[in-house]
Amino acid sequence: MTFSFHPLAKAEMQDAVEYYEQQQSGLGLEFLEEMYATIQRVLRFPAAWPQSSRYSRRCLASRFPYSIIYQIRSSGILVVAVMHHSRKPAYWADRL
């Protein structure tokens, strides 16, 4: 199974990488690796994570306070948001 990013989700992830890299050298890369590990879990078990809305699901990252919000589509997984847990819960809903 393949995956792709909604353009705003990709921008969210890049912003977070830059933020963490400013906090500590190398931490941005660690964040990025964690996000891709989370996406790999989604790819292995796409229906295993709880629903966030009618058509989306949420998989929590292990180390950072982020979740991957995604949709299961016939073409693969669409990452709708790279959501920080302190943000308004459904800010990404209009992306669907």
Domain of 43: which CATH number? 3.30.2310.20
Structural domain of residue 61, as residue ranges? 3-87
C-alpha 18 chain-centroid distance: 16
Please provide residue 75's backbone torsions phi and psi, each rounded to the nearest 5 degrees: -85, -5
Q: What is the pLDDT of residue 88?
A: 81
Quick check: is 53 in a domain? yes
| Opening angle at CA 91, ends 63 and 26, nearest 5 | 30
For the chain, the straight-line distance linking the first and the last C-alpha, in angstroms and rounded, comes to 20
**pLDDT per 10-residue tile (average), the chain, 96 residues:** 96 97 97 98 96 92 96 95 88 79
Domain presence at residue 38: yes
pLDDT of residue 52: 87
Q: Do the domain assignments include residue 73?
A: yes
Return the pLDDT at 20.
97
Q: How many domains does the chain have?
A: 1
Give the pTM. 0.91
